[in-house]
Amino acid sequence: MFASTRSFAYVATLVAAVASVACSAPEARPALAAAAPVECRGGVVHNEADAARFEGCETIAGDLRIVDSDLTDLAQLSSVRRVSGKLSVINNHKLISLAGLKGVERAGAVELHNNPLLCAYFGLLTGLQQVGAPLELGKNRGLSERDVRAMLERVEVRSSGSVARQASL
């Protein structure tokens, strides 16, 4: 009887060892369910701490205002895909690039004003496909007319037209 108990223990240990190896193989694991998109309430970004609140957010419910900030880039906003309200980038005297917002595909409206160092080396909101109101651009000296024209040609505006103040770029 002692021999059969020992054999049983050996077989149980062997089965457990094989099962643990088999279940740890990547192909044996169940596929993870797609996570629901993270939605965050809109707000105002003035600095790195404000931007950090939106890290990981895919949808912004309401307006996202990047105003009077000390930021040079918007990398912390790289997960944002949709803004249900207005995406405003206004009076950011150190902001160089909107590359952190390249994933934004849709916005209720877009306004880019008075960002004197802003340039489009990496494109100007390259993922933006559709807005619900006219695009408003002005006093962004670092943007060329070519950059603005390319964005206006690419983005579908679902209202009465786009406004680009070419003379004040």
Tell me the pLDDT tens digit for each residue of 105-126.
Answer: 999 999 999 999 999 888 899 9
CATH number at residue 125: 3.80.20.20
50 and 3 fall within a common domain: no
Kindly state the average pLDDT of the residues 10-19: 50
16 and 80 fall within a common domain: no
Contact between 43 and 64 under an 8 Å Cβ cutoff? The reply is yes
13 and 89 fall within a common domain: no
Q: Could you give the CA distance from residue 91 to residue 69 in angstroms, rounded to a whole number?
A: 7
114 and 64 fall within a common domain: yes
134 and 162 fall within a common domain: yes
The token pair that represents 29 in the structure block: 């694991």
**Number of Cβ within a 10 Å radius of residue 98:** 28
Q: Could you give the CA distance from residue 169 to residue 164 in angstroms, rounded to a whole number?
A: 8
Band (7; pLDDT cuts 50, 70, 90): low
Contact between 67 and 88 under an 8 Å Cβ cutoff? The reply is yes
Band (161; pLDDT cuts 50, 70, 90): low
CA dihedral for 154, 159, 161, 167, sign (positive or negative)? negative
Contact between 157 and 136 under an 8 Å Cβ cutoff? The reply is no
65 and 112 fall within a common domain: yes
136 and 94 fall within a common domain: yes
Q: Taking 60 as the threshold, does the pLDDT of residue 143 lie above it?
A: yes
Q: Which domain, by its residues, includes 7? A: 1-31
22 and 52 fall within a common domain: no
Nearest to 137 by CA among 24, 44, 120, 58: 120
51 and 111 fall within a common domain: yes
58 and 140 fall within a common domain: yes
CA dihedral for 134, 136, 142, 144, sign (positive or negative)? positive
Alpha helices in 2-155 (DSSP H): 2-24, 48-52, 145-154
Q: Taking 50 as the threshold, does the pLDDT of residue 13 lie above it?
A: yes
- pTM (two decimals): 0.75
Q: Could you give the CA distance from residue 82 to residue 39 in angstroms, rounded to a whole number?
A: 9
143 and 160 fall within a common domain: yes
Kindly state the average pLDDT of the residues 78-93: 98
The token pair that represents 9 in the structure block: 């223990």
Band (26; pLDDT cuts 50, 70, 90): very low
49 and 101 fall within a common domain: yes
Number of structural domains in the chain: 2
